[in-house]
């Protein structure tokens, strides 16, 4: 990779591209090597190759998008780079909108319980929507992450399980109340029965977590 950079500084584009390409093959996880390969091929006017390597670098680390935007070498292939960034932004937008839609559906499907997690979920949701409204590549990436974190927190509440148990508890309360009506209880027993029934109903009304 550094041999390629030396050749680039010497304006030896062919060797710069060759060495940078070898670096990407030796370590496919080295994002910097892909960025340098994109930079050197852009300097050599090889738009298609530059865009391919730049996309690989950006998908590994979005900061390379900003670096490419301020690097004069990419101005030689500006049209191709602009098209790449528009495609990446559109892709991120679609993913962000899908994530926010799933989150909104999850929030609407169940009544949120009164718990500390509720404030966290609401905050992440609000931030995700705000990030998406920036209409930028980075904004959509932030929205994807925030919506994903919010959905994980929502899933951790196990709301479908809670609702099933709450419905069962209410059914039990109704059944017990109906069965208890014909009977007379000693004074010290009746408050216990009524308290148990009231507690079951309150658990449903308060949306108690598991």
Mean pLDDT of 136-147: 96
Residue-level length of the chain: 210
pLDDT band at 167 (very low <50, low <70, confident <90, very high): low
Tens digits of residue pLDDT in 93-104:
999 999 999 888
Q: What angle do CA 14, 28, 85 make, to 5 degrees?
A: 75
- Mean residue pLDDT of the chain comes to 84
pLDDT band at 209 (very low <50, low <70, confident <90, very high): very low
**Highest mean pLDDT of the ranges 69-83, 102-116, 161-175:** 69-83
Nearest CA to 53 out of 76, 16, 81, 73 is that of 81
CA pair distance 132, 153, nearest whole angstrom = 20
- Is residue 133 exposed (0-12), middle (13-18) or buried (19+ Cβ within 10 Å)? exposed
CA pair distance 60, 69, nearest whole angstrom = 17
Tens digits of residue pLDDT in 103-120:
888 777 766 666 677 778
């Amino acid at each position: 990779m550094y041999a390629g950079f030396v050749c680039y500084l010497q304006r030896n584009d062919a060797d710069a591209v060759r060495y940078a390409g070898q670096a990407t093959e030796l370590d496919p996880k080295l994002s910097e090597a892909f960025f340098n390969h994109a930079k050197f091929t852009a300097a050599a006017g090889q738009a298609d190759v530059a865009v391919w390597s730049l996309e690989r670098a950006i998908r590994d680390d979005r900061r390379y998008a900003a670096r490419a935007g301020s690097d004069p070498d990419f101005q030689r292939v500006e049209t191709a780079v602009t098209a790449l960034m528009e495609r990446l932004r559109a892709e991120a937008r679609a993913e962000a909108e899908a994530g926010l839609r799933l989150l909104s559906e999850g929030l609407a499907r169940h009544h949120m319980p009164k718990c500390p997690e509720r404030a966290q979920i609401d905050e992440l949701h609000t931030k995700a929507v705000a990030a998406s409204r920036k209409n930028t590549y980075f904004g959509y990436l932030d929205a994807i992450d925030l919506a994903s974190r919010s959905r994980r927190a929502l899933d951790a509440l196990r709301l479908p399980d809670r609702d099933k148990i709450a419905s069962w508890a209410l059914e039990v309360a109704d059944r017990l109340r109906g069965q208890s009506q014909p009977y007379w209880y000693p004074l010290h027993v009746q408050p216990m029965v009524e308290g148990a029934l009231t507690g079951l109903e309150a658990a449903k009304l308060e949306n108690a977590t598991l």
